Amino acid sequence: MKKLVIILTVLLLISNFMICYSAEFPDEIPELRGEAVIAIDAKSKDILFQLNQHQQMYPASTTKMMTAILVLENCQLSDQVSVSFSSANTEGSSIYLQPGETFTVEQLLYALLLESANDVAEALARHVAGSISEFSLLMTNRAKELGALNTNFVNPHGLPHQKHYTTAYDLAQIALHAIEIPKLIEISSTSRYQIPPTRLYPEVRYLKNSNRFLWGTGSGNKFEYLGEEIDIMYPTIHGIKTGYTKVAGNCLVSFAEKDGRQIISVVLRSSGNQLYRDSRYLIDYGLYNFQTTKILAEGEKVIKAPVRQGLTADISLVAKQDVYLTTRLGDELKPLQTVVVSPNLSAPIRKNQAVGEVIYTFNGRVYARAPLVAAERVVRFQVLWLVLPLILLIAAIVRVKKWSLKKYKQFLF
C-alpha cells in the first residue's frame, strides 16, 4: 500500500509538471491586437506566422532601422557630425540638438536607436547624403536590395507621409540584414547611454531605450500572457526598434535569440502594452514550437558539373552560404535536393562565380535554397595552349643548334 501511494504521488507530480510545462509557452497564436504581424526564423528565413504581412502600413520610427544600416555602411563610428539649423528644428521626438554642435556618429546612433530622436535622424541623413531627399532615395534603393520591394521612404525618421510606407514582411527583410551588423544590435540592445555636455548644451544627455523589452518591470510594465500578468522585460530580446505615431499606432521590430535559435518578429499598428504581448507570443511561438537544422554548410561541395571549352573537363560547385531548414518540433522532414546548373556551362569561369542553385523541396513546397558557386577558376581552352609548348620546344632546339654551330666554327678556325 505504501509503495502504491509513492507511485501515485510521483505520477501526480509528473502530471503537474507536464501541465505546467505545456502552459509555459504557447503552442498557437491567440488573437492579436496588431493589424499586420510576422514571425520569421532568422537562419532559415522561413515564415512561422503571419497576418497581413504584405499590407501597406506606416512604419513610424521602425524606419530608423534602415537609417542606422545606411549610416553604419557609409560612415566610421568616429566620424564627426555637425548639426545644422534644419536638423536641430526637426519636429517630433528629440534630444534637443543645437545648431553648431558636433558629435561622433557613434553617439548619434545611440540617440537614434534608444531615444528614437528625429533631429538625430536628420543630422545623420544630411551627413551621409547631403540632403534628406538624397538620403531617402538611398534608403529606398537599399531596402529593395534587401528584399523589401513594397517599401518607399521619404524621410529618415518615420514621421507620417502618404508616400512613406512599408509592410511587415519588408521590415522583416530589413531586420534580417540589420542583425548581421554587430554594432547595430549592440546599440539597439543597450538600455541606457549618456552623451556628455557640449559647449552649446551644458548638460549630460541621459538616453533611455524606448524598447521596454529591455527594462520594463513593475507597475505599468505588465501584460497578460498565458493567463498570468508578467513583466514586459524579456532577456531573450536583443533589440531592435520601436515606433509610434498616431496614424501608425504602436510598432515594434524584435530580435530574439535563445539556444542557437533566432527569431525576428514584426508587429505594426498595435496599442499600448498589447504591442509587447503580441511580440512575446510571436517570439515564443517561434522559439518553442519549431526546430532549425543546418543541412548544408557554406563552401560544402554539392556536385561536379561538366565545363565546355575549359582546360579542365569539370568543376566543383559549392554552397555560397549556410542552408538551414525549419520544421515543427518532432517532424522528421527529409526534403528532396534538386541542383540546377547554368545550361551550357562554359569557360572561362571565375572562382566564386554563381553558376547554379540548390533547392530543397518536400511535397512540392520549397523549404530552402541557396546559390551554388564555382570552387575554383577554370581557364578557357585555346589552340594556343597546344601550339605554345611546341613553339617553345622548337625555339629551344634552334637555340641549342645555333650554339653548337658557333662552337663548331670556333673549333675549326
Q: Which domains does the chain have, with CATH numbers?
A: 26-288 (3.40.710.10), 294-374 (2.60.410.10)
pLDDT band at 147 (very low <50, low <70, confident <90, very high): very high
Q: Are 335 and 325 in contact (CB under 8 A)?
A: yes
Q: Radius of gyration of the chain from Cα atoms?
A: 30
Q: How many C-alpha atoms does 192 have within 13 Å on its Cβ side? A: 6
Q: What is the grid cell recorded at 91?
A: 519636429
Measure the CA–CA gap between 95 and 98, rounded to whole angstroms.
9
Q: Are 166 and 57 in contact (CB under 8 A)?
A: yes
The 10s digit of each residue's pLDDT in 120-143 is 999 999 999 999 999 999 999 999
Whole-model pTM? 0.84
- Give the integer Cα–Cα distance in Å for 347 and 363: 36
What is the per-residue burial (b if ≥16 Cβ within 10 Å, else e) of 320-352? beebbbbbeeeeeeebeeeeebeeebebebeee
Scanning 146-263, the segments in alpha helix (DSSP H) are 168-178, 182-188
Between CA 279 and CA 29 the distance in angstroms is 11
pLDDT digit string (tens) for 217-226?
A: 999 999 999 9
The pLDDT tens digits for 194-248 are 999 999 999 999 999 999 999 999 999 999 999 999 999 999 999 999 999 999 9
- pLDDT for the residue 308: 87
Eight-state DSSP code of residue 38: E
* Model confidence pLDDT, tens digit, residues 283-334: 999 999 999 999 999 999 999 988 888 888 888 999 999 999 998 988 877 8
How distant is the alpha carbon of residue 295 from its chain centre?
Answer: 20
**Three cell numbers written together for 274:** 498589447
